[in-house]
Structure 1
């Protein structure tokens, strides 16, 4: 090949490489609401620390309605659920902010607790080929990346009507071709495994509990524990965290005793989801309750088995889920206080005040920073480690209850009005 033709070909290839969307070339996917491995941890670098409404914003896209669902990202596709009037919709954008498609999955939106949530509270989940979405109405659907409906069903029609005060907000979890749901409510609590490709039932089990009244309700989401050797489904609600075999639905262990010892409060339902990190399971409870660190290889009812715990802590986050980074576990209270615990011992290293507003979103970690999102749209960036240090405070002035998603060097923040892409163009 003549040298000038070779040079021209190399230059063309280089230009094409440069023009490729950076999200496709370099992104770590964020496939469910807690990101890779359900941990709330991103491995991306060079993430933004500071931004405002008009600084360090790649784009902002208006959404058809409010919701608390976290977006999920795979390569250059972003999926999020929303309401549009009375309709319940799944929206697909690309990483430039362009809407690729929007599909109506159901109808019958219900707003709860004035401004706290609606029927688009559960988040989607994706495997890179398909995306699954669930709404508090029980509507559950699977689409491919082109927006073609693969299957759709209604969980209430198949498994019983929901009896839960503020709606079934639990996000399904996906693993190895199965979609797992925890339906924990007063109408008959169940744990269900579906074939993700067809929607067919693989197994269902009744979730036994001695909880009563509103404590039968759960707004938490199931998690998959996987340390490379031990793997199981972890469900959370109705006074217990319970582990199940992924293939058969057999109960492996359960932990209770999570209510305050002074007496049973009929209104203490679980909202925060557990943390399933390799070698450690952190189980929150409800306001005024406790938090426990459980050994993953436990068996049976471990409530009163001291050797099945690493440690216990006398307070819990009520809504945001726990986060573990390195040697430390972080708990974000609803009022914005951040607690840092020693991962091995549970010793409290600090409790410090951040932005004083409701915190409904769960903390995430990336690029050496912890991001705490408050209801009024402020994100406080904190340095991890045993000493408390605020790195930045960033305001968007739009209400938010969804947790951040991280991919392609950007932080995606879903407010009640819009989806923001924070970071480089």
Structure 2
């Protein structure tokens, strides 16, 4: 397999090539991420103060007593895109290589279907799924005249929350949260359980869009539920935006062909704190919540505007136009800048400075940079070690920009061995993991000029993004949930 004429498949440490010949001296990948760890400590400090009480949750973690350090939010994967909402695990150090018979600690079969990503807290791994049941019925014709690539639903489904033992992969519990025949189908690459769950270390929040929002205890007990109505999605392509969590507030993006809105819920009661209507059409982009200049802001991409909402009031603080009318990728944030992109009909990636931001930022000096080259469609960007990484559309072409300036110092890089990429890339220990729908995961170094480290293949298909906690990587396939980890080293006996 070749990247721009340079064979790389199976040659660990080889510099990835650009379309033009560019020879760079190899250097060994590092395993230390001090800068990312410091960032994780800074961004999680507020959440950490609120989570310290979670250290008493012993019985809910398989009977194993966990220290305060073990339950540090920066060391968990509590939501889609990880503890920093950037795709980075600041304390992670997962394996570089694995296969069906190497470094797979466990693989647990999953019921039904789902593209929701796993979340991990302590000794628990959570996922959601949609399981068909009952007799098949005649599918209703798609109502949207522009519908294409659709997979009509012909059976009722049960919508499940599931908890697995992180150490063994044993299913601890599964809870049926809703059931019934969906009112519309979805895209043939999608699923009816594509929204990733989120946890605050005590409760699990599972969102199924038109099927409801649910809060469960770590024992699987239902604490509250909210039904928000029915979405009517563009081209009947289904639903998939995941909720975002900050302190005691859960944020849901409800963009569809009807009245779009963003809603903030109280995590303890499920009651809405506020709801703000949005003049938007269907999007699949998840919100993120950032802290900027001592203010919590919910940031959401949209067809008309990228917007920032005051998390306390729901007021729009600022907005910036320029994205496409088919928004999937989720924005990322670091050090006073938001980075958002889209592909499909409008290709753009932009960096927006938030210091002093207010009102409409379109065309202002707050738009620090923008590019229309090789921008992402389905996978969201990765923000890592000063670099903004993104994939062209959902293809194996990787771009790395200097996040502050938008400059492309190296690249682009053609990724041999992965294609049809829906999962968002993740990173830890100076390594980037890129997983495709054919079961392959490419591991490259996090250097300015990445180096090929490994290509790992499992007999599955991956649309969900990976999760990294400690020395473990969790992959949710269409068939199984995997824990990728090196075998534990035997303890030394006394006197050795």
| Normalised TM-score (structure 2) | 0.75
Q: May I ask how many residue pairs the two structures share in their alignment?
A: 388
**Equivalent in 310, 318, 340 of residue 377 of structure 2:** 318
User: Structure 1, residues 316-361: CA drift from partner, whole Å, max 9, x if none?
Assistant: 2111111111221111221111111112221122111113411101
Structure 1 285/68 Cα, relative in aligned 2: closer, same or farther at 3 Å?
Answer: same
Structure 1 residues not aligned, in runs of 5+: 1-18, 210-215, 260-267
Partner SS for 1:421:
strand
Matched with 2:349 is 291
Q: CA deviation at 1:278?
A: 2.8
How do 1:144-159 residues align onto structure 2 when only pairs under 5 Å count? 144-156=217-229
Matched with 1:7 is none
User: Structure 1, residues 37-74: CA drift from partner, whole Å, max 9, x if none?
Assistant: 21211022442000011111100000002211001010
User: Structure 1, residues 214-246: CA drift from partner, whole Å, max 9, x if none?
Assistant: xx2101100111246343000112232110000
Matched with 1:308 is 366
How do 1:379-390 residues align onto structure 2 when only pairs under 5 Å count? 379-390=441-452
Structure 1 250/412 Cα, relative in aligned 2: closer, same or farther at 3 Å?
Answer: same
Partner SS for 1:120:
coil
Say if 2:456 is the partner of 1:398.
no
8 Å CA contact retained: 1:136, 1:167: no
Structure 1 196/21 Cα, relative in aligned 2: closer, same or farther at 3 Å?
Answer: closer
Matched with 2:318 is 253
RMSD of the TM alignment (CA)?
Answer: 2.0
Structure 2 residues not aligned, in runs of 5+: 1-62, 133-156, 488-496
Say if 2:291 is the partner of 1:226.
yes
Matched with 2:246 is 175
Q: CA deviation at 1:101?
A: 0.6
Say if 2:110 is the partner of 1:63.
yes
8 Å CA contact retained: 2:92, 2:469: no
Structure 1 226/404 Cα, relative in aligned 2: closer, same or farther at 3 Å?
Answer: same
Structure 1 21/359 Cα, relative in aligned 2: closer, same or farther at 3 Å?
Answer: farther
Matched with 2:336 is 279
8 Å CA contact retained: 1:375, 1:400: yes
Greater mean deviation of Cα atoms: 391-400 or 132-141: 132-141
CA distance in 2, matches of 1:118, 1:181: 19
8 Å CA contact retained: 1:226, 1:278: no
8 Å CA contact retained: 1:350, 1:388: no
Partner SS for 2:474:
strand
How do 1:227-246 residues align onto structure 2 when only pairs under 5 Å count? 227=292, 229-246=294-311
8 Å CA contact retained: 2:127, 2:197: yes
8 Å CA contact retained: 2:418, 2:435: no
8 Å CA contact retained: 2:162, 2:171: yes
Matched with 2:144 is none
Q: CA deviation at 1:25?
A: 7.3
Matched with 1:142 is 215
Structure 1 46/23 Cα, relative in aligned 2: closer, same or farther at 3 Å?
Answer: farther
CA distance in 2, matches of 1:84, 1:367: 37
Matched with 1:3 is none
User: Structure 1, residues 264-299: CA drift from partner, whole Å, max 9, x if none?
Assistant: xxxx41011111223221011232411110012321
Q: CA deviation at 1:26?
A: 4.4
8 Å CA contact retained: 1:222, 1:273: yes
8 Å CA contact retained: 1:111, 1:118: no
How do 1:324-339 residues align onto structure 2 when only pairs under 5 Å count? 324-333=383-392, 334-339=394-399
Partner SS for 2:84:
helix
Partner SS for 2:465:
coil
Structure 1 388/409 Cα, relative in aligned 2: closer, same or farther at 3 Å?
Answer: closer
CA distance in 2, matches of 1:252, 1:25: 36
CA distance in 1, matches of 2:464, 2:323: 26
- Report runs of 4+ in structure 1 exceeding 6 Å deviation: 21-25
8 Å CA contact retained: 1:125, 1:131: yes
